[in-house]
Amino acid sequence: MGKYFTIKSSSREDLDQAMDYFRNALKEDPNYAQAYAGLSEVICMYAGWALMPVQQIIDEADELAQTAITLDPYLAEAQLAKGIVQAYKKNFPQQNPPC
């Protein structure tokens, strides 16, 4: 249900509901990588909608995304969550210029 409210999100209440579902899922199964990734994504959405300052939430979102990757490095949602965090941090890998 957390993912449903994340995708449906049209209000702060939807984001709050998604966060509650992801947090409850983690209480039930602390090794549920998809819930860590989803929670990270929702936290970033708070910043994207200017509901919370990026500086206030980005470390928590990063930690959650990294936990998801540690639990399941091949989970697409975990990689996406980490990418969203990196975008907010403006931390892009340097590329070598073409020869």
Domains in the chain: boundaries? 2-89
Token representation of residue 79: 């990689």
Please identify, in words, the CATH class of the domain defined by 2-89. Answer: mainly alpha
- Other beta carbons less than 10 A from residue 33's beta carbon: 20
Distant-in-sequence, close-in-space partners of 11: CB < 8 Å, separation ≥ 6: none
- Split at pLDDT 50, 70, 90, the class of 94 is low
pTM for this structure? 0.85
- The reported pLDDT for the residue numbered 28 is 97
Q: Tell me how far CA of residue 76 lies from CA of 45, 55, 60, 94, in angstroms.
A: 18, 25, 19, 23
Taking only the tens place, the pLDDT of each residue in 45-84 is 988 888 888 888 899 999 999 999 999 999 999 999 999 9
Taking only the tens place, the pLDDT of each residue in 33-45 is 999 999 999 999 9
Collapsed DSSP state (helix, strand, coil) of residue 46: helix
* Cβ proximity of 3 and 41 under 8 Å: no
Please return the burial class of 76, using the count of CB atoms within 10 Å of its CB with bins 0-12, 13-18 and 19+. Answer: exposed
Q: Which residue has the higher pLDDT, 93 or 24?
A: 24
* Cβ proximity of 43 and 67 under 8 Å: no
